[in-house]
Structure 1
Amino acid sequence: MRDPEELRKRADEEPRVYRDTYYDRADGSFTGRGRELRVRVVEQGGTCQTILTYKEPAVDEASGSKPEHETKVADAAVIDTVLRALGAIEYVRLTKDCANYRFNAHGRDMLATMVTVPELDGTFVELETLAIEADLSEALGAVRAVLAELGITDADLTTEQYTDAVLNARA
């Protein structure tokens, strides 16, 4: 999908800038096991919000979908200090320019995000919905159906993570 017009038909655009810092252990064992620990500062209309996210290993090989656990934190610098005191190191820092679209499809609340990353060529589309483990197959089916409606084919999909792509681009 090169043109977000189909998303604009579904929902209003919510522009955001995400400033992400990912952490790992010094030996790389955290990300090496498919886990992610991220502090995200979300900038929108002159305001900032900080979110701490822990991602478990992928539960679906084809999509790379990972269970996420998030909580708001008051101060990015304070949580950085805490994580470093616990032995975490900065793995990679990156910026994502995003346009979010929230809508309902196939009986589910969806969040589609059009993403550009300065170091990477192209625009990426992320599509998410909340699911519990027992509901995972149905949720992934709904996500795949919306992707098809947006003109996104299996050939367009990737499981490469932004962190890896950015690190490779910087190398």
Structure 2
Amino acid sequence: MPVEAELKARVRDVVAVRTALTMRAERRRAVYHDTYFDAPERRFMADGHELRLRSVETADSVRHLLTFKAPAVDEASGSKPEQETAVADRDATHEILLGLGYSVAIEFTKNCENFEFSDNAYDMLATLVTVPELDGTFLEVETIVPSAAEIAAALDAVRRVLTMLGITEDDLTTELYTDAVVQAQAAPRI
């Protein structure tokens, strides 16, 4: 199964990172509407699996994706084997997942600026992300490799890109958006 070799960081200087990325690639804005599903006993996500239905909205299109991620094969980065496919009808897919016994665990929106480029023979996707429920801006840099055996080399390439963008090891985070949004939604409102 292909593996998404990815590192995520909190961004201290958004303007500098955005400027460096626009020197490498065209910026494409998108809004991701994500719905994560869990099994009735709530062990699916707790065991590290992800089942996500995503709608990607751009200025000129909307597309829907169904993604399954297995538990992390690299604990330090959280990189996971991933399968993803386009779906024609989001509502029908949502109902199918509910019919199979899954329930909605969480829904949230990610505002994204995507930059695609090649670096050291890897096709990279760098994404600046804001989530309304969370403070700050995040940067995800990822590449897809055919197997877990290639993850170390791919993560080295991702780290080189992050370093070039001014991101340090101290900026990296493995916190999942799902966990952070659940926590933010549960926090008492003042």
Tell me, yes or no, whether TM beats 0.5: yes
Out of 88, 93, 113, the residue aligned to residue 127 of structure 2 is 113
Report the CA distance between 1:108 and its aligned residue: 0.9
Cα distance in 1 between the residues matched to 2:159 and 2:77? 9
Cα deviation, 1:34-53, whole Å, max 9, x if unaligned, reads 00000000001142100000
Cα distance in 1 between the residues matched to 2:95 and 2:122? 38
Out of 42, 47, 57, the residue aligned to residue 28 of structure 1 is 42
Residue 166 (structure 1) aligns with:
181
Cα distance in 2 between the residues matched to 1:73 and 1:139? 28
Out of 55, 79, 83, the residue aligned to residue 69 of structure 1 is 83
Q: Does 1:39 align with 2:53?
A: yes
Cα distance in 2 between the residues matched to 1:134 and 1:160? 24
Residue 13 (structure 1) aligns with:
27
Higher RCO structure (Cα 8 Å, ≥6 apart): 2
Q: How many corresponding residue pairs?
A: 171
Which residues of structure 2 form unaligned runs of 5+?
Answer: 1-10
Which residues of structure 1 form unaligned runs of 5+?
Answer: none
Cα deviation, 1:101-143, whole Å, max 9, x if unaligned, reads 0001112110000000000000000011011222111111101
Report the CA distance between 1:10 and its aligned residue: 0.5
Moved over 2 A (4+): none
SS at match of 2:23: helix
Letter in 2 for 1:133: A
Cα distance in 1 between the residues matched to 2:126 and 2:80? 16
Cα distance in 2 between the residues matched to 1:59 and 1:158? 16
Superposition CA RMSD, Å:
0.9
